[in-house]
A and B are shown apart, each in its own frame.
Chain A
Amino acid sequence: MIVAVMHIQSALDPAGPQAGRIAHLFWIFTWVCVAVYIITLLFIAVAVIRGRRNAEPDVSDAREHSLKLGVTAASVLTVLILFALLVASVATGSAIGTFGQDDPRQLEVEVTGHQWWWEIHYPDALDPSASITDANEIHIPIHTKVLLRVQTADVVHSLWIPNLHGKRDLIPGRVNKIWIEADTPGIYRAQCAEFCGLQHAHMALVVFAQKPEDFAQWKSASSQGAVTPTTPSAMRGQQVFLGAPCGKCHNIVGVDAYGTIGPDLTHLASRRTIGAGTLINNRGNLAGWISNAPAIKPGVLMPPNAMSAGELQDLMAYLETLK
């Protein structure tokens, strides 16, 4: 379990060129520092052993000269090593900073941080009706440079997808940019990396790096409106949804629910988690979440919703159709 988690959220397990550079730099620093540390300790050990053996210290001029030479050489070597590390660091920084610019194969995704969830928007300038709004999940095709435009709706957050890149802060009133690219298909977990309030720890995000054909399939499915319910239970559930206050905060494309405060629910059933990584998305968890979200995630804006068991079952049947 822990090994699996480490694999999907680890800066030392890079899945793209950006994180690869950062991991590379990390290992250079680590091994150089380990080598310097071991060599320094060896010299100290030698000095201690020698000092014990020779009770009378050697104070001749020749000895003084050789010691001076040794200290100078060590100082020069230290400066050289530090300078080499500086060069490696600056080179990595500049490679990361210029990555993706002037590349035609681009995808732009807008990421908006909320207390405490992520709004993901895929704008489509040519066909606005094909733009997609999702929550807490980013789908990207592999081998494509993706520009994430990150902003916040309230306080400072920070987007950190360790397998793909370093952190980027979301600052109120600003749109920050971060370029990512994935080489291997997979699921990578991200986390808000700047304390943003009570449920900061429950503000996770999942990145799906997919083969281009899988991504195209996901995109065409997601740009459709919500599925019209067909079973009697789901149809009753839709009426429950529209009769309850849900639509004040949530949006479902194709029905009378236009809220923009909470996550878009048009394709709720296709998501892995609910509450920004708080719970696995299944019927029991979703019913519990709707019945009393603040008991699961105290401080969340989603209010408790009292309804009869029949209404809740119908609502679940409806929400499960929203693939």
Chain B
Amino acid sequence: MCRRLLFVALFAALACHREQRAIQPTAQESGRPLPVRVSGLQPGPKQLGASAIDNPYEGNAYAISQGQQLFEKYNCSGCHFHGGGGIGPPLMDAEWIYGSSPAQIYESIAQGRPNGMPSWGGHIPEYQIWQLVTYVRAVGGFEGKVATGSRVDEMQSKRAEEPKP
């Protein structure tokens, strides 16, 4: 009996996963971002290979909610609205002009894109760019259901046309 209880307790302990909240980012994490390379194909002499940069906040609910705040405060919603798009492209549909992977979205925010997307690298801390990446991916439906808020203030951020990749 005792052994069985111990087994159940151990099994339950496996389910315990406390999310890490990045409430004390270091100076290193807020430094100017390094150029992210998402492809090995580059003009000129051989340069760095594609950066294997992973989103440190993938699936992190706190990062998503912080990103949501920053999305509003840095006026991303001024062009992208709340994911539906307007002046800038929508973030809720399946079409991603410059790619939907975390590194690609990071690069879009950090370096800017033609036709209006400004470059944010060096203007805002790196960890905030990652928080924005996580939020944008949550709007696009790429973040896990557990981390994404079930109730959205503005509009439903669930993509209808395509299931998650």
Chain A residues with a Cβ under 8 A of chain B: 154, 198, 245, 248-249, 261, 291-292, 294-295, 298-299, 301, 303-306
Contacts and interface: CB of A to CB of B under 8 A. Distances in A.
B27 A245 contact: no
A155 to B, nearest CB: 11
A295 B24 CA distance: 6
Contact of A261 (B25, B30, B73): B73
A248 B74 contact: yes
B124 interface: yes
A199 to B, nearest CB: 9
B27 A305 contact: yes
A306 B23 contact: no
A304 B26 contact: yes
A291 B27 CA distance: 8
Interface in B12-65: 21, 23-31
Closest 8 CB pairs of A and B: A303-B125, A304-B27, A298-B23, A306-B27, A299-B23, A303-B30, A261-B73, A294-B24
Interface residues of B, number: 19
Contacts of A249: 73
Contacts of B127: 303
B128 interface: yes
B122 interface: yes
B113 to A, nearest CB: 19
A248 B30 CA distance: 14
B150 to A, nearest CB: 18
B156 interface: no
B164 to A, nearest CB: 30
Given A294-B23, A294-B24, A299-B23, A304 B30 contact: yes
A306 B74 contact: no
B74 A305 contact: no
Interface centre among B25, B74, B123, B128 (most CB of A within 10 A): B25
Contact of A245 (B21, B24, B69, B122): B122
Interface in B78-126: 122-125
Interface in B124-152: 124-125, 127-128
Given A249-B73, A306-B31, 5 more contacts: A245-B123, A245-B125, A292-B26, A303-B127, A304-B26
B165 to A, nearest CB: 32
18 contacts: A245-B122, A245-B123, A245-B125, A248-B74, A248-B124, A291-B27, A292-B26, A292-B27, A294-B25, A298-B23, A303-B25, A303-B127, A303-B128, A304-B25, A304-B27, A305-B27, A306-B27, A306-B31
Nearest to B70: A301
A306 B25 CA distance: 12
Nearest to A306: B27
A261 B125 CA distance: 14
Contacts of A261: 73-74
Nearest to B128: A303
A298 B24 contact: yes
Given A248-B123, A261-B73, A305 B23 contact: no
Nearest to A261: B73
B64 to A, nearest CB: 15
Nearest to A172: B153
Contact of A305 (B28, B30, B69, B73): B30
A305 B123 CA distance: 11
B61 to A, nearest CB: 14
A242 B71 CA distance: 23
Contacts of B69: 154, 301
Nearest to A304: B27
A311 to B, nearest CB: 13
Contacts of B26: 292, 304
B83 to A, nearest CB: 20
A304 B23 CA distance: 11
A312 to B, nearest CB: 12
Contacts of A295: 24
Contacts of B124: 245, 248, 303
Contacts of A306: 27-28, 30-31
B50 to A, nearest CB: 27
Nearest to A243: B122
A301 B66 CA distance: 9
A29 B90 CA distance: 61
A234 B29 CA distance: 28
